[in-house]
Structure 1
Amino acid sequence: MKVLHINAGLENGGGLSHIIGLLSHLPEDDVELLTFADGPVAKAAKDKGIKVKILGKNSRYDFSLLKVLAKYINDGNFDLVHTHGARANLFISLIKRKIKARWIITVHSDPRLDFMNRGMLGRIFTNLNVKSLKKSDGIFAVTNNFKEILLALGLPDSKIKVIYNGIAFSKKAPQLQEHKNFEIVIVGRLHPIKGHAVLLEAFQAANMTSAHLTIIGDGELKSELQADVKKLGLDNQVLFTGLLTQDEINLRYLKTDLAVLSSFSESFPLVLLEAANFAIPVIATDVGDMRQLIPNSSYGWIVPTHNVKAMSLALEEAYGKWQSGDLKKTGFALETHAKKYFSIDRLCKTTMDGYRYFLSK
């Protein structure tokens, strides 16, 4: 079975981590990656020794690629094309009748919200992406919640398989570094859907006398969020790091007590699995299939979206557990649970099973 994974190549974050994590653990003779641009995804693939073809176009919608793309797929005798992201989905939808391979899409995010706050252009791109999803031969949804969304958009149940994200967990427990204050981390692009503004308000409202918040990531809201920090009087407690490599994030985790996800919509966030790998407990909003990772309060906290008070109360409770020394128990419970159900081996097996299922149809 030969599978060609396709991504535009310009993204960072969870999509990149999913693609590279999966391809670096699947049999290397069976998979290849193609990107439209020589960007972060191609670089990460090269660093991992993954075979990657770069078409070399940086223009987001350069349709001159279509003929080249169809020829590459057919000449390579690929059994399956597996796309990640709206642009890759659109391009394959336009050449589907010209390629021999079956076509699978992984839906990493809510397709209704991928182009939020982009006006008429965003609505056009959303409609094009939904039409692309309907043309595919099969879909991997990374949460059951996303499957329900796809069903509501008119896709048939037989076309969708739920495959949860997974990572390569450390075999040995990382040695966390001693530190004085209660250290909180949030990792993600600075985008309205990530809910950073709610977290900042909750952080300011919580009764935590020695807490620091580190915001890792970059994006369109950076200036606005920095202004919020000043307005809330949090200059000495909140740090913006900008984009960091995974190795740099891991170093941060070594001196972190709590990870937070404040998003209004999510898939199954790899950043929380990465925190679990360090036995770091998490507070997460009730998005995606979060209760699969945090089944009850022994494993962490789940709070409603957009709810400053609920987030603030959860922060205070975690802070109290940190003061008493009980917070680590929550982190260890989360680590054990995540390793059992969300490993990279499990992701690879369910992905290969999905390939065989859609090839047989």
Structure 2
Amino acid sequence: MKVVHIITGGEGRGGAEGALLRLINGTSKKVEHIVYTLLDMPEYNSDFKEADIVIQSLNIRSLKSFAINLYKLRKEILEYEPDIIQSWMGHSNFLFGLLGKTWGIPVVWNIRQSRVTKKELGSKNYALMKASAKLSKLIPYKIINCSLKSIELHKQAGFYDNFAYIPNGININSSDHKLIEPQKNKEFTVGHVGRYDPAKNHALFISSFNSFNKYRTDSRCIMVGTGISYENTIFKNKYEHLINASFTFLGQIDSRDELFDIYKKMDCLVLSSITEGFPNVLIEAMSFGVPCISTDVGDAREIIADTGWIVPSEDQNALEKALEEAYREYLDFPEDWAARREKAYERVIENYSVEKMCERYIDVWNDAINQTTRKRSQ
């Protein structure tokens, strides 16, 4: 099977690009992949190179270069004769859905966000989304989405009900992802992982932990993410009055192994976001047996199920109460806490491994190829 991927790209280490990389690594023995990006993707070049994939940028920032590269792309794709065009996110879905249709190649879209309102998207992206909604019945064989909440929101926004739910998967290495017995008589360690962004609602987490920590002085927290440090003067000025010695800020972590070591130091993880699609941080933490507390956003409720706590968004009292419940179980009922950790770990193994994600993608691609073949033979 030959699959051409077209993804937005750009600076930073986005979730879609990470999912594509895991997908390629997990299916490379069965599928031949080629990757094009609308924008350069410098942070991922070395990762894709290790996967034997050379990223080819269409350089959409320059209209002239884009037009030249688009002509080149058409020639290459028709010579390559792919079985599927797998596009990723709004601009790629719209543009290459239309082109794939004219080239006679089945197209599968991928939507990975839960924002659908004009206020959330801005005028241009909102117009693009509405245009894509009108084409969604005509262009893609399927629309892959990693979030049940996002699927529902997009159907309400006018998208044709042609979705395939494929939750994100993570690489679970038995030597890395294993349950480690918590150290006795140590501080209760709460983690928070997320870049500095209003949507992550650091204010809720910091205020809640600050209040909780006043009464539970044997607790501490570790915060990770781009901009989560005093080097970020905006962050420092906004929260310095709430910070004490129980807070540790680690900023951006680029090394996967280093991030794994940080998860292993956590007893509990909190997601305080106002909005999410499929929050990867939850399955990452749970893959190390770390129970999670999350606001009721995106697919958090589906992911956590009965392994942790769901609280209303922007409700500090509810978050403090959940922290207290987790703390008391951790301290007073170690057997219950161990069972909770085991349940969180097993939920990720059973539902969110990269192997299961890859199997589901291949099933969608095979169905698209088979349907296209049947239509051509009629």
Q: Match for 2:197: what amino acid?
A: H
The whole-number CA distance in structure 2 between the counterparts of 1:168 and 1:115 is 35
* 1:274-285 equivalences in 2 (<5 Å): 274-285=284-295
Partner of 1:101: 105
1:20/1:58 Cα in 2 relative to 1: closer, same or farther (>3 Å)? same
The whole-number CA distance in structure 2 between the counterparts of 1:72 and 1:129 is 28
Alpha-carbon contact 2:13-2:44 (below 8 Å) kept = yes
Partner of 2:199: 193
Partner of 1:334: 344
Q: Match for 1:24: what amino acid?
A: N
Q: How many residues align?
A: 353
Partner of 1:318: 326
Partner of 1:55: 57
Q: Deviations over 1:39-88 (max 9, x none)?
A: 223332223x2423322738387743433333333232112111223343
Q: Which runs of 5+ in 2 are unaligned?
A: 373-378
The whole-number CA distance in structure 2 between the counterparts of 1:220 and 1:87 is 30
The whole-number CA distance in structure 2 between the counterparts of 1:236 and 1:337 is 31
Q: Match for 2:323: what amino acid?
A: L
1:31/1:278 Cα in 2 relative to 1: closer, same or farther (>3 Å)? same
Alpha-carbon contact 1:81-1:101 (below 8 Å) kept = yes
Q: Deviations over 1:172-225 (max 9, x none)?
A: 525468594222222222222222221112111223313222222215995433
The whole-number CA distance in structure 1 between the counterparts of 2:14 and 2:192 is 13
Report the Cα offset of residue 263 of structure 1: 1.7
The whole-number CA distance in structure 1 between the counterparts of 2:329 and 2:207 is 21
Partner of 2:42: 39
- Normalization by structure 1: what TM-score? 0.86
1:176/1:9 Cα in 2 relative to 1: closer, same or farther (>3 Å)? farther
The whole-number CA distance in structure 1 between the counterparts of 2:62 and 2:197 is 20
Report the Cα offset of residue 302 of structure 1: 0.9
Partner of 1:347: 357
Alpha-carbon contact 1:9-1:41 (below 8 Å) kept = no
Q: Deviations over 1:231-264 (max 9, x none)?
A: 2233651414224322221111121111121122
Alpha-carbon contact 1:229-1:235 (below 8 Å) kept = no
Partner of 2:123: 123
The correspondence for 1:86, drawn from 84, 90, 94, is 90
Q: Match for 2:218: what amino acid?
A: S
Partner of 2:312: 304
Q: Deviations over 1:64-114 (max 9, x none)?
A: 343333333323211211122334335425634543322222212114269
Partner of 2:15: 14
Partner of 1:162: 165
Alpha-carbon contact 2:58-2:66 (below 8 Å) kept = no
1:284/1:70 Cα in 2 relative to 1: closer, same or farther (>3 Å)? farther
Partner of 2:235: 225
Whether 1:249 and 2:259 are equivalent positions in the alignment is yes
Greater share of residues in helix: 2
Q: Match for 1:52: what amino acid?
A: V
The whole-number CA distance in structure 1 between the counterparts of 2:105 and 2:194 is 34
**Range moving further from structure 2, 63-72 or 251-260:** 63-72
Report the Cα offset of residue 139 of structure 1: 0.6
1:217/1:100 Cα in 2 relative to 1: closer, same or farther (>3 Å)? farther
Report the Cα offset of residue 13 of structure 1: 4.3
The whole-number CA distance in structure 1 between the counterparts of 2:191 and 2:16 is 20
1:103/1:97 Cα in 2 relative to 1: closer, same or farther (>3 Å)? closer
- Runs of 4+ that moved beyond 6 A: none
Q: Deviations over 1:304-325 (max 9, x none)?
A: 1111111111112212223233
Tell me the SS of whatever aligns to 2:23. helix
- Normalization by structure 2: what TM-score? 0.83
1:98/1:115 Cα in 2 relative to 1: closer, same or farther (>3 Å)? farther
The whole-number CA distance in structure 2 between the counterparts of 1:142 and 1:78 is 24
Q: Match for 1:310: what amino acid?
A: A
Alpha-carbon contact 2:114-2:149 (below 8 Å) kept = no
The whole-number CA distance in structure 1 between the counterparts of 2:181 and 2:26 is 27
Whether 1:77 and 2:81 are equivalent positions in the alignment is yes
Report the Cα offset of residue 300 of structure 1: 0.6
Give the RMSD, CA atoms, in angstroms.
Answer: 2.9
Tell me the SS of whatever aligns to 1:52. coil
Whether 1:2 and 2:6 are equivalent positions in the alignment is no
The whole-number CA distance in structure 2 between the counterparts of 1:8 and 1:301 is 35
Alpha-carbon contact 1:5-1:82 (below 8 Å) kept = yes
1:133/1:250 Cα in 2 relative to 1: closer, same or farther (>3 Å)? farther
The whole-number CA distance in structure 1 between the counterparts of 2:222 and 2:3 is 39
The whole-number CA distance in structure 2 between the counterparts of 1:176 and 1:147 is 38
Report the Cα offset of residue 269 of structure 1: 2.1
1:213/1:340 Cα in 2 relative to 1: closer, same or farther (>3 Å)? same
The share of aligned pairs that are identical, in percent, is: 25
Report the Cα offset of residue 129 of structure 1: 3.7
Whether 1:294 and 2:304 are equivalent positions in the alignment is yes
